[in-house]
């Protein structure tokens, strides 16, 4: 009888650890390899006082922010191809240091994956809720999504989302106002008259060339002085 | 007669500008969009005194070097998917500031594209020739290629090149010695007993996770003090 109890107890413990290990394994492979490479890299770097975080996807990832502003407090927390759920899943690493400022831009990859405007806006609300709860002193800059341009025939699921991007940006502008946060309308600085990403600043209709990042720089440098 | 001369002269000028424009257009699209996004971004950033350049492909691109070493002199000049010819084509931007140090790692994407070991070694010779000619005071660190591991079934054209990587590294070690440069044997720090990239440091057999970059850090920090 006693042996049977010990046996059953052992089985239960074994299963428990098995499920735990399985769920950890699942967590480790929830996204694509690059996401986990960057996420573990970010977690391996020490927190500092007065961090200025650029949080987002490939458009954020692609810029050497600390070099461009010559400021070592600036940390690149962009991950190419990231989505709003991905940002939520790694937000604890971002807020842990109680950063001075966060510049957020996320959502265009959600659109490319077929997510609805409402879903994306709600997720960005959740990101802001979480930041404001965990680190209420942090200044949050809600950046608009950038315009896109399908003329290059590249990133086709992204670059056909002009109307959705405009809708998200309108929601973000309101959201920022309601929360008394700064909305940064990068869209206006980078678009043509027909609301497309100006070919002056891109070579694929989605990402920025050097000149595009200089426009972004000039739009936000007043917030970094 | 005189009109005919002017006419022919105009045609010649027109053709000349046409070819020039065409060749410029070709230069602008020589590589993939991301290469040109990064290259124009790098050119848009000002030169500084005492730059420390990390030059390479995605494995260099993926690390927040200046943050990891807490040193604003450090500049990331990695471009995901870059090859030795790509580095040669943008080397003028790197040497222009006469950097204090350059940490070079390039070649694994050449292997994935089917380039021979000899071709790659010759191209790295050309990169070193060019750096040493343009900025003889710069300290050059010739970093080994990293080991790879095909166990993940990812990046298959890269991760089946263990023998070629070992051959290139032997050539780089000799090359560094002949030129009295520092060879950094990262391969030894990151490999298993069977010369594969240790799963402790990767999640795709080609790129590094956070823990992998910490090994790289500890291997080179003595050169950055």
Query: What pLDDT, in 10s, does the model give residues B87-146?
Result: 999 999 999 999 999 999 999 999 999 999 999 999 999 999 999 999 999 999 999 999
| pLDDT value, residue A2 | 66
Nearest-CA residue of chain A relative to B75?
Answer: A67
Closest CA of chain B from A208, distance in Å: 6
| pLDDT value, residue B4 | 72
- Please answer yes or no on whether A67 and B45 come within 8 Å at the CB atom: yes
Q: Could you tell me the CA-to-CA distances from A87 to A93, A107, A163, B15 in Å, in that order?
A: 10, 10, 23, 52
Q: How far apart are CA A203 and CA A197, in angstroms?
A: 10
In chain A, the number of structural domains is 1
- Please answer yes or no on whether A210 and B37 come within 8 Å at the CB atom: yes
Torsions phi, psi for B105 (to 5 deg): -145, 115
**Is B186 inside a domain boundary?**
yes
Q: Which domain holds residue B103?
A: 47-223
**Is B7 inside a domain boundary?**
no
**Is A98 inside a domain boundary?**
yes
Q: Which residues of A touch B38 (CB under 8 A)?
A: 62
What average pLDDT does this structure show over A125-139? 98
What average pLDDT does this structure show over B148-156? 98
What average pLDDT does this structure show over B164-178? 98
Instruction: Write out pLDDT tens, residues B11-43.
Output: 666 666 666 667 767 777 899 999 999 999 999
**Is A16 inside a domain boundary?**
no
Instruction: Write out pLDDT tens, residues A183-201.
Output: 999 999 999 999 999 999 9
Backbone torsion region of residue A75, taken as left when φ is above 0, otherwise alpha when ψ lies between -120 and 50, otherwise beta: beta
What average pLDDT does this structure show over A8-31? 72
pLDDT at A8 over 90: no
Say which of A41, A152, A210 has its CB closest to residue B41. Answer: A210
Sign of CA pseudo-dihedral A47, A50, A55, A58: negative
Nearest-CA residue of chain A relative to B204?
Answer: A33
Q: What is the pTM of this model?
A: 0.92
Chain B positions with Cβ closer than 8 Å to A:
28-29, 33-34, 36-45, 62-64, 66-68, 70-72, 75-76, 152, 154, 203-204, 207-211, 213-214
**Is B3 inside a domain boundary?**
no
| pLDDT value, residue A27 | 78
What average pLDDT does this structure show over B184-200? 98
H/E element holding B219?
helix B210-220
Q: For residue A64, what is the domain's CATH number?
A: 3.40.50.1110
- Please answer yes or no on whether A213 and B154 come within 8 Å at the CB atom: no
Q: Nearest Cα to B59, choosing from B19, B108, B94, B12?
A: B108
| pLDDT value, residue B27 | 78
Establish how many alpha carbons lie within 13 A of residue B133's alpha carbon, considering only the half-sphere containing its beta carbon: 8
Instruction: Write out pLDDT tens, residues A90-103.
Output: 999 999 999 999 99
Nearest-CA residue of chain A relative to B61?
Answer: A62
Contact A58, B58 (CB under 8 A): no
- Please answer yes or no on whether A210 and B70 come within 8 Å at the CB atom: no
Torsions phi, psi for B98 (to 5 deg): 50, 65
At A171, the pLDDT band (50, 70, 90 cuts) reads very high
DSSP B180-199: T-EEE-HHHHHB-TTSSBPT
**Is A56 inside a domain boundary?**
yes
| pLDDT value, residue B97 | 97
pLDDT at B6 over 90: no
Instruction: Write out pLDDT tens, residues B53-85.
Output: 999 999 999 999 999 999 999 999 999 999 999
What average pLDDT does this structure show over A130-150? 98
**Is B112 inside a domain boundary?**
yes
Establish how many alpha carbons lie within 13 A of residue A159's alpha carbon, considering only the half-sphere containing its beta carbon: 18
Query: Residue A182 forms beta bridges with which residues?
Result: A141
- Please answer yes or no on whether A67 and B68 come within 8 Å at the CB atom: no
**Is B16 inside a domain boundary?**
no
pLDDT at B1 over 80: no
Mean pLDDT of chain A: 94
| pLDDT value, residue A64 | 98
Q: How far apart are CA A49 and CA A71, in angstroms?
A: 13
Q: Could you tell me the CA-to-CA distances from A61 to A38, A64, B79, B96, B110 in Å, in that order?
A: 10, 8, 12, 25, 24
């Amino acid at each position: 009888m006693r042996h049977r109890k010990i046996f059953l107890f052992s089985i239960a413990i074994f299963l428990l650890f098995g499920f735990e290990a399985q769920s950890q394994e699942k967590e480790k492979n929830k996204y694509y390899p690059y996401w986990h490479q960057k996420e573990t890299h970010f977690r391996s770097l020490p927190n500092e006082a007065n961090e200025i975080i650029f949080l987002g996807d490939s458009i954020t990832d692609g810029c050497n922010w600390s070099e461009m502003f010559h400021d070592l407090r600036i940390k690149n927390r962009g991950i190419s191809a990231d989505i709003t759920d991905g940002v939520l899943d790694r937000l604890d690493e971002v807020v842990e240091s109680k950063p001075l400022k966060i510049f957020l831009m996320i959502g265009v990859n959600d659109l490319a994956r077929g997510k609805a405007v409402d879903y994306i806006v709600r997720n960005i609300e959740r990101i802001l809720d979480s930041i404001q709860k965990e680190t209420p002193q942090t200044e949050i800059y809600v950046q608009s999504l950038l315009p896109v341009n399908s003329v290059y025939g590249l990133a086709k699921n992204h670059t056909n989302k002009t109307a959705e991007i405009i809708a998200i940006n309108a929601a973000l502008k309101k959201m920022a106002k309601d929360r008394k946060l700064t909305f940064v309308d990068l869209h206006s600085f980078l678009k043509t008259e027909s609301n497309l990403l100006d070919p002056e600043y891109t070579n694929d209709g989605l990402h920025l060339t050097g000149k595009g990042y200089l426009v972004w720089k000039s739009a936000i440098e007043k917030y970094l002085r």
